[in-house]
């Protein structure tokens, strides 16, 4: 179990709010289906497990400084331009079956994440390119391919309904670049094997705090938590089963558990093997799909209801 040594930020229970405006509630339900891509196994006290097939470097000889932690986190992903796998599964909490998944990433903003079952075919498609991102869930009601342009989404009130953007999936895998000049604090002792740093992020829609827990010897990220200005936990990502690739000098997790408490949805992404910098992708891979019967709907034109109305429990079993 990870025992926290310095828990100054603790999640508070979300406040109850009434519906504040006329809305398209079913589309708002689908908005939160993106959280299915950022969810967790639901364990209250996560275990940190790292397995090594190749000995990983140890950047810290003692208690690291903030400069050393930032350098280790950045160095771990510096050589990774592309990442993809066709050997992944997604297990959603409360859903008996697992989904087959494939993931492709070309930094900084090209992402494609798709999941299916052997019986029902394609069930989910999330992607991003330099201009926009999209979300398609087969079971969404009403049917739609939701999308938004990055610049418009950043200024839209819908951003408050989706506190975590799609490119956070890249960070959840440990591929993070920390700006040494940003508002960083720490490191603080987390337990005997890990240290924690904190980052303040200023946003027009509200400031957030990131807590990043790093292995005190190997320097890879094992836990990330995102809090809003009221110290409510918005999301967390726990990475385990790290394996070191000596050719690209990167350690990547094989299991990622993420929670999005406002949505009360959880799932686990398990990857058998990653291929690094070997993606020969066409532009079609990064193009929003056109799916018969699912018209495109611009998220920035959707009037959201309050997040705390959450009919979101229905999303816990979208493939039943």
Q: Which residues of the chain have pLDDT under 50?
A: 1, 5-26, 28-52, 306-320
* Residue ranges covered by each domain of the chain: 25-306
Written as six digits, the tokens of 107 are: 């930094």
Residues facing 83 on adjacent strands: 105, 276
pLDDT at res. 119 = 86
- pTM of the model as a whole: 0.77
Dihedral angle sign, alpha carbons of residues 174, 150, 236, 4: positive
**Which of left, alpha, beta for 186 (phi over 0: left; psi -120 to 50: alpha)?**
left
Residue 185 CB neighbour total at 10 angstroms: 14
pLDDT (0 to 100) of residue 53: 59
pLDDT for residue 293: 95
pLDDT in tens, 9-68: 433 433 333 333 333 444 544 444 444 333 323 333 333 344 445 689 999 989 999 999
Pick the CATH number of 25-306 from 3.90.1150.10, 2.50.20.10, 1.10.760.10, 3.30.479.10: 2.50.20.10
- In this prediction, residue 140 carries a pLDDT of 81
Quote the pLDDT of residue 304.
Answer: 58
């Amino acid at each position: 179990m990870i025992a926290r040594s310095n828990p100054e930020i603790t999640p508070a229970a979300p406040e109850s709010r009434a519906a504040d405006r006329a809305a398209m509630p079913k589309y708002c339900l689908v908005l939160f289906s993106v959280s299915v891509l950022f969810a967790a196994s639901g364990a209250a006290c996560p275990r940190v497990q790292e397995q090594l097939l190749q000995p990983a470097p140890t950047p810290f000889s003692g208690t690291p400084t903030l400069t050393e932690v930032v350098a280790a986190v950045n160095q771990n992903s510096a050589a990774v331009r592309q990442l993809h796998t066709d050997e992944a599964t997604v297990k959603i909490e409360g859903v008996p079956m697992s989904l087959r998944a494939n993931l492709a990433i070309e930094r900084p903003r090209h992402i494609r994440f798709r999941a299916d079952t052997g019986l029902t075919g394609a069930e989910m498609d999330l992607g991003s390119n330099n201009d926009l991102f999209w979300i398609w869930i087969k079971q969404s009601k009403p049917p739609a391919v939701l999308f938004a342009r990055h610049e418009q989404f950043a200024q839209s009130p819908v951003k408050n309904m989706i506190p975590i953007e799609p490119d956070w999936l890249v960070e959840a895998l440990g591929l993070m670049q920390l700006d040494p000049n940003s508002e960083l604090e720490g490191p603080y002792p987390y337990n005997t094997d890990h240290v924690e740093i904190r980052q303040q992020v200023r946003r027009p829609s509200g400031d957030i705090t990131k807590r990043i827990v790093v292995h005190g010897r190997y320097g890879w990220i094992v836990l990330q938590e995102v809090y809003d200005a009221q110290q409510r936990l918005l999301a967390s990502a726990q990475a385990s089963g790290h394996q070191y690739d000596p050719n690209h000098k990167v350690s990547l997790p094989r299991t990622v558990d993420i929670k999005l408490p406002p949505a009360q949805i959880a799932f686990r992404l398990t990857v058998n093997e990653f291929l690094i910098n070997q993606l020969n992708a066409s532009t079609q891979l990064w193009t929003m799909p056109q799916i018969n019967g699912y018209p495109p709907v611009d998220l920035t034109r959707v009037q959201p209801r309050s997040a705390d109305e959450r009919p979101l429990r229905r999303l816990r079993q979208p493939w039943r």
